[in-house]
């Protein structure tokens, strides 16, 4: 029983880390959208 719960908690922990990281990346990209767009434009041109 405890082993099963432990593996579930491990899955939830990893899943939360991945989702939290993705949300952080999206928020970072949104808050820095103008700088990122300017940087990409400089690379393209």
The rounded distance, in Å, linking the Cα atoms of 23 and 17 is 10
Looking at residue 32, what DSSP letter applies? T
The rounded distance, in Å, linking the Cα atoms of 10 and 17 is 11
Q: What is the pTM of this model?
A: 0.64
Q: What is the Rg, in whole angstroms, of the alpha carbon atoms belonging to the chain?
A: 18
The angle subtended at Cα 13 by Cα 32 and Cα 4, nearest 5°, is 160
pLDDT at res. 1? 65
pLDDT digits (tens, 9 = 90+) for 4-42: 788 889 999 999 999 999 999 999 999 998 887 888 888
């Amino acid at each position: 029983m405890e082993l099963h719960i432990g593996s579930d908690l491990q899955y939830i922990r990893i899943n939360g880390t991945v989702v939290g990281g993705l949300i952080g990346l999206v928020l970072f990209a949104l808050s820095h959208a103008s700088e990122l767009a300017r940087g990409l434009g400089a690379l393209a041109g």
